[in-house]
Amino acid sequence: MANSDDSNLKLPLSLGLMQLTVLPEAEMPRVARLLAERAQGEEAPRSEAIIELITTIVLYKFTELSREEVLRMLGFTTEELKRTRFYREVYAEAREEGLHQGLQQGLQEGEVLVILRQLRRRFGSVPRDLEERIRQLSISQIEALAEALLDFRELEEVAAWLAHSC
């Protein structure tokens, strides 16, 4: 099969890319790197698009590889990878997901602070272990506690509610 590497490189780039999708995993890294070098060396039209296609094909084939492993495999720099649409889309998704998680955490922390403030106002100090248990609640549990809090007459009822509900 070593000759298939050489025959891929003699084909037009577009056909070499198509064949890259069906190559065995053992052959793919070398051929992908050589096709990328060829695209850059020939200053092929839209060489960045070709590099993006190569990167996408490799990432779909090797789903368990890290970004650094893919870069090493293809001989790309981080800057070359960052110029690909694939990278920009993944980066945007990760950023959006991070913002969403940050908003959820902020909401949860805010609700916990309100509950703790209400408990302190109603019952005085709140034991540290009880406060920690409250901080570990999910948002839905915090909301349920906020409603139940209106019925509690003693701090022990909060502990009992936590023991029963969690």
Decide if 120 contacts 152 (C-beta within 8 A): no
Dihedral through CA 63, CA 35, CA 47, CA 69, nearest 10?
A: 30
- Per-residue pLDDT band at 82 (split at 50, 70, 90): confident
pLDDT value at position 43?
63
* 3-state DSSP assignment of residue 25: coil
pLDDT for 36 equals 84
Provide the percentage of residues in the chain whose pLDDT is more than 70. Answer: 93
Is residue 1 pLDDT above 60, yes or no? no
Find the range with the poorest average confidence among 38-42, 95-99, 149-153: 38-42
pLDDT computed for residue 5 by the predictor: 46
Cα 161 to Cα 156: distance, rounded to the nearest angstrom: 9
Q: Is the pLDDT of residue 2 over 50?
A: no
| Structure-block tokens of residue 53 | 């296609």
Q: What is the pLDDT of residue 149?
A: 94
Measure the CA–CA gap between 81 and 90, rounded to whole angstroms: 11
Q: In the structure, what pLDDT confidence band is assigned to residue 67 with cuts at 50, 70 and 90?
A: confident
Confidence of residue 3 (pLDDT cuts 50, 70, 90): very low
